[in-house]
């Protein structure tokens, strides 16, 4: 079996998808700044176990459409893309697996449309219904104006910085947020000192870790060519407050479907205030949680840094959700 590529029209946008295998649908939702390629280690094991594996480049990313309006990237748009994609693939439901920003999309889809979601797995980011990320006013109180999510709000600034040399940008971010970065003894929030940029604090690595090759960096960078390549992805951050407004009506809802959470103990996310509470009380937000897995020594790029352990956790979870015959 090989990974196949094609485009699918959903929810008013064209999404590029990569797919492999036959069987119950599993949708893999990437985060920032990634693409379908961040799931390269999951296709063969999941497809070989009897699943239809599909990983889209999400709205604004890589080979998919990049709507121009900032407000075209709300969490409701992203949930709409997932629900429409399930139907466009000829399916009535799916198991969702999301990493980084893909996790809030997966959690929110399960929260809002449990009729379409057989199970949901979040890597790195735990569920925090209903909007999944706190408003920027709270982030300012906790971390100050230098917090990276606040810095991303200014149109065009981070966009231009990241686009000047996509390969260097991706190499820096992927390495510095990994569990292999020797400069970080323990994870901490990304707070940029005044007068500096995010990349100023992320030097080029002397050597890449074993899980990341220059070919991998080149594959990501190919999808980030062009001056606007990072604008769509950054627009997701520019809707954080709008998401909190739009989803207020769903306050108090819980994730009703079977759930899995996997995080590295060196992931920057675990250092954010409130995440320890969310992890400890996952069973309250997702009452049918199957497992809450912590990977020692793993940083932010969960499924790339620890593919074997992540694949084992996913296959165990999928077997819990549904029985299939291996291909």
Other beta carbons less than 10 A from residue 231's beta carbon: 22
Record the tokens describing residue 219, joined without a space.
């594959």
Name the residue with tokens 């909190």. Answer: 244
Return the pLDDT at 7.
98
Residue 220, Cα to own-chain centre: how many angstroms? 15
pTM above 0.75, yes or no: yes
Return the pLDDT at 185.
81
Helix (H, G, I), strand (E, B) or coil at 15: strand
Return the pLDDT at 326.
53
Of the residues 57, 65, 81, 100, which is catalytic? 100
Environment class of residue 115 by beta-carbon count within 10 Å: exposed (0-12), middle (13-18) or buried (19+)? exposed
| Alpha carbons 187 and 119: distance in angstroms, whole number | 29
* Residue 100 annotated in active site: yes
| Alpha carbons 306 and 178: distance in angstroms, whole number | 11
Bridge pairing between strands 13-20 and 52-56: antiparallel
Return the pLDDT at 323.
66
Other beta carbons less than 10 A from residue 72's beta carbon: 17
DSSP code, position 21: -
Other beta carbons less than 10 A from residue 303's beta carbon: 25
Name the residue with tokens 């920057």. Answer: 268
What is the mean pLDDT, run by run of 10 residues, along the chain of 327 residues?
Answer: 95 97 98 98 98 98 97 98 98 98 98 98 98 96 96 96 97 97 90 94 95 98 95 98 98 97 97 95 97 97 98 97 65
* Residue 300 annotated in active site: yes
The candidate with the shortest Cα–Cα distance to 35, out of 218, 287, 292, is 218
């Amino acid at each position: 079996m090989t990974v196949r590529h094609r485009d699918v029209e959903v929810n008013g946008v064209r999404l590029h998808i990569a797919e492999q295998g036959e069987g119950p649908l599993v949708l893999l939702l990437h985060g920032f700044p990634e693409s379908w390629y961040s799931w390269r280690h999951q296709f063969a094991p999941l497809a070989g176990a009897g699943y239809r594996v599909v990983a889209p480049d999400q709205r604004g990313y890589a080979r998919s459409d990049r709507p121009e309006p900032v407000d075209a990237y709300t969490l409701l748009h992203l949930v709409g893309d997932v629900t429409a994609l399930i139907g466009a693939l000829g399916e009535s439901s799916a198991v969702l697996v999301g990493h980084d920003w893909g996790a809030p999309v997966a959690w929110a889809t399960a929260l809002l449309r449990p009729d379409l979601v057989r199970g949901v797995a979040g890597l790195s980011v735990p569920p925090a219904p209903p909007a999944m990320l706190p408003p920027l006013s709270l982030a300012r109180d906790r971390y100050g104006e230098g917090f990276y999510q606040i810095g991303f709000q200014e149109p065009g600034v981070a966009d231009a910085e990241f686009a000047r040399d996509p390969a260097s940008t991706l190499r820096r971010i992927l390495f510095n947020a990994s569990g292999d970065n020797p400069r970080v003894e323990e994870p901490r929030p990304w707070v940029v000192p005044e007068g500096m940029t995010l990349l100023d604090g992320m030097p080029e690595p002397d050597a890449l870790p074993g899980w990341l090759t220059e070919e991998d960096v080149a594959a990501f960078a190919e999808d980030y060519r062009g001056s606007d390549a990072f604008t769509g992805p950054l627009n997701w951050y520019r809707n954080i407050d709008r998401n909190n407004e739009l989803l207020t009506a769903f306050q108090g809802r819980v994730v009703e479907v079977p759930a899995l959470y996997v995080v590295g103990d060196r992931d920057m996310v675990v250092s954010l205030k409130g995440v320890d509470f969310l992890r400890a009380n996952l069973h309250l937000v997702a009452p049918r949680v199957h497992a809450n897995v912590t990977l020692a020594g793993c940083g932010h790029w969960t499924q790339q840094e620890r593919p074997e352990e992540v694949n084992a956790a996913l296959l165990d979870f999928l077997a819990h959700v549904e029985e299939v015959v291996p291909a």
